[in-house]
Amino acid sequence: MNSEDKIINDYLTPILGDLMQKSLDSILDMREQKLLTKDSVEDILFIAKFIDEATQFYTDINHAENLAIINDLKQYLEGLAG
């Protein structure tokens, strides 16, 4: 492993993982508190972009649990946009 890969694995991936987890938790809290509605267009678009990026991140690190949560959240947003 070269030094660049080591830096990414040792420092950047954990930081990005923590940020992604906090973002996912915030979105799930918004859903639980029913803060997302059909009228929340900007929030839905932002969350949809997050879902795309989070899907890639969690696929890269093989995190099946969060991929399932992301998929559920994606279906929820599709239902709102429906």
Q: What does the pLDDT look like over 1-44, one tens digit per residue? A: 688 888 878 888 889 999 999 999 999 999 999 999 989 989 99
pLDDT value of position 11: 86
Task: Write the secondary structure of 5-71 as one string of H (helix), E (strand) and C (coil).
Answer: HHHHHHHHHHHHHHHHHHHHHHHHHHHHCCCCCCCCHHHHHHHHHHHHHHHHHHHHCCCHHHHHHHH
Per-residue model confidence (pLDDT) at position 24: 95
Q: Which residue, among 77, 71, 62, 82, has the nearest Cα to 31 in the 3D structure?
A: 77
pLDDT at 9: 82
* pLDDT for the residue numbered 63: 93
pLDDT category of residue 70 using cuts at 50, 70 and 90: very high
